[in-house]
Amino acid sequence: MRSHKSRVGAITIDQLYEHFEQRELLPRTNLWSVAPLKTNRGYIRRWVRPRWGSCTLDEITAVEVEAWLGGLDLARGSRAKIRNVFSILFNHACRYELFDRNPIRFVRQSARRRRAPDVLTGAEIRMLVNSLPARERTLVLLAASTGLRQGELFGLKWRDVDFEHGELNVIPSIVCGIEGCCKTESSQKPVSTQPQLAASLIEWKQHCKFKSGDDWVFASRLRGGRKPYWGAAIMRHYIQPAAEKLGIQKRIGWHTFHHTYCTLLRSLGVEFKVMQELMRHSSLRSTLDVYTQAVGPAKRAAQVDVLSLFARLPEVESDCEIIGTA
């Protein structure tokens, strides 16, 4: 029998993680943007290491990991992320010839949601915007009309707002108070701003204490302008209560506006490639598979179009009226 030290894969998951952190998770390596770096580190420390840290690599089997994931009281998406980051660890081991295979490749874990995320209608967004003060109104208008992610919204500085050309230069992103780059290269493309949005930004700037080019657009007064506002707090204390008062019974977060933007573009018949560019997705699959939902009137209209090819429709007018009021 071979000695423990001579076995391929005799190092533990804890030892592998230390090797991985030194080479891929430190800020100086620049291999990860802020969000995935923080996410990967968090999943490994909270879930992978407590269960598997003392196990050697050759003791890990796909069947055992799959059973463990199935027993976690987490959403499917969260379990899929744990599986993926576990797989990243093993890929790292293979890359540095610390092990010769990745058993996590064979772990089955669906990321499909149990329910579709909520999206808002145009009327709901209008009601919400009209009920909010300048700061929250500007944030909601920005999110709903551009699809900017939370980190991109609060990572904006006044120098990034080009009022002359009607554009936002979305380069930095704020995640958990840490400034970094945007999620992907596609995310860093300029974003067009329409006159109504520009007017709201100008109005908000008049309220601001911090207005220089290097200041955050949504700089926190409590932090002396050194940091932007905490997005989760604004959502929880201001925007969600306003939506509840208006009778909007949907789960709303910053990403709701990202999903809503894509879905509304689709309902307006915008071409897929244009949608991808507006959403600043690196692939069209993300735009169509993840973020787009067919709205009720659009689905009814599609059914009417198909049925009209082979059947007479005496009540077509009523369907048009429904679509027109969407």
Q: What does the pLDDT read at residue 205?
A: 93
Is the domain spanning 122-279 CATH 3.50.50.60? The answer is no
Lookup: tokens for 7: 């076995």
* Confidence (pTM): 0.64
Q: What is the pLDDT of residues 212-222, one digit of tens each?
A: 989 999 999 88
CA distance 298 to 86: 41
Q: What is the pLDDT of residues 93-120, one digit of tens each?
A: 999 999 999 999 999 987 766 667 788 9
| Neighbouring C-beta atoms of residue 12, cutoff 10 Å | 17
Q: Residue type at 103? A: P
* Distance, first Cα to last Cα, the chain: 72
CA distance 272 to 68: 39
Closest CA to 142 of 298, 258, 281, 270: 258
Average pLDDT score, the chain: 80
Please report, rounded to a whole number, the percentage of residues in the chain having pLDDT higher than 90.
Answer: 44
3-state per-residue secondary structure call for 176-211: CCEEEECCCCHHHCCEECCHHHHHHHHHHHHHCCCC
CA distance 162 to 41: 36
Name the residue with higher pLDDT: 115 or 27: 115
Determine which helix (DSSP H) or strand (DSSP E) holds 175, and give its type and residue range: strand 172-175
Ordered DSSP codes for 206-227 = HH-S--STTSBTTB-TTTTTSS
Q: What is the pLDDT of residues 244-284, one digit of tens each?
A: 999 999 999 998 998 888 888 877 777 777 777 777 766 65
Give every CB contact of residue 42 below 8 A, 6+ residues apart in sequence.
none
Q: What ranges do the domains of the chain cover?
A: 13-106, 122-279, 294-324
Lookup: tokens for 266: 């689709």
Q: What is the pLDDT of residues 136-151, one digit of tens each?
A: 999 999 998 888 888 8
Q: What does the pLDDT read at residue 266?
A: 78
Q: Residue type at 170? A: V
The fold for domain 13-106 equals DNA polymerase; domain 1 (1.10.150)
